[in-house]
Structure 1
């Protein structure tokens, strides 16, 4: 569709809308007396305008131009709604999303598998197990004392179901006073020796 065709259609639509609005104003109250009175006002205005044009034909162009402008403005496109930008991930949400990608379709991931992958992240190549575990604790990432992933069980790891709630923007976590953040009751926190030996188990 050419620009001229679009403009013509817009003016035609505006003409119809303005006519509809004018008729709606006449019959707005749905009362015979009101409708008759408004019809009389409209007729008188039209008669006066017609007489004026008869004496001063140049006014006709002003009337036509005014109607065209009104039709054009009536069909002015509504401004596009501005959507609020999605809030950026927090550090906790970023690492949770990254770990979820490592987990894939499994129920979770053992720390023995996660730690080597974490060392590939920027600035973490020299971190030992203790430093990596401390980083998880600071971000309140729940570490389960003993869990099964595939055929391997009895090792510490992170469960998928503990990570997915963290991706909610309204989610707020606070450090647990005992053990790891979010540690479920009944789960025993790892000792420092268990943390250091985690990768040795996987060997």
Structure 2
């Protein structure tokens, strides 16, 4: 249906919709007239799915290369402390009641940090630092992962949990 909607004019969308309906009608009439063609269509469909899967399958890693698990966060020497991250989050929140992780990631990437990270990478690092993540923080009508100001303020620097050394299982 994206092809139908992508027409530059509404008239073109109607023409494209007509083409889709006509092709569907021809397909139904043909299959009703010769149901044995379904075997050929099924074989072609399976072959196309097989080829598409082979084209998108990731290459097997070399056997002599040792790979670290993707979810383990390594402590780099330039990793900020939990208090520095807490201060950054509070600065980003300002007067708001929280901040979305996508906003934090965008800010970090503007500052040249976290290049190549995804929101999940940031979430794992925040959880490792003991920062509580809200799975459905609703700011301006958009519910997504974020950090609540009240939860962050509830963690005083002396009470903040020690950073974890293992991977997080929070989803």
The TM-score, its normalising length taken from structure 2, stands at: 0.44
> More helix per residue: 1 or 2?
1
TM-score (norm 1): 0.38
